[in-house]
Amino acid sequence: MKTFTCKEIMNDASGCDMAFSGNDAMAVAGQCGQHVASSTDEAHKPMRDLMMNPNHTQADREKWMAWFQGEWEKKKEV
C-alpha cells in the first residue's frame, strides 16, 4: 500500500495535507478525485478544473494519469 497527500497528487502546486492510501495508482487517484470534486476552494481549483472543465480533454487527463503513475512507481510502499 502507498500513501499520497492531496498536495503530492497535485504536484505540490496546491492542494491540502489530506492523505489517501491504496494498492494501486487508480484507487488513490479516485479517492483524491472525490475529495477534489467535493471541494470549493481555490487550493483545489487546478485539479478540479482538470477533472471537470470541458476545456480539458481526455488527452490532458491521460497525461496527468501518466505523470501520477510515474510518481506512484517512485513512491515507497508503506
- Least separation in angstroms between residue 14's CB and Zn ion is 9
Residues forming a β-bridge with 22: 2
Site for Zn ion in 18-47 (CB under 5 A): 18
- Least separation in angstroms between residue 62's CB and Zn ion is 22
Q: Is 15 in the site for Zn ion (CB under 5 A)?
A: yes
- Least separation in angstroms between residue 69's CB and Zn ion is 20
- The separation between CA 3 and the C-alpha centre of its own chain, rounded to angstroms, equals 12
Rounded CA separation 38/18 (Å):
13
Which cell numbers hold the place of 78? Answer: 508503506
Contacts with Zn ion, residue ranges (CB under 5 A): 6, 15-16, 18
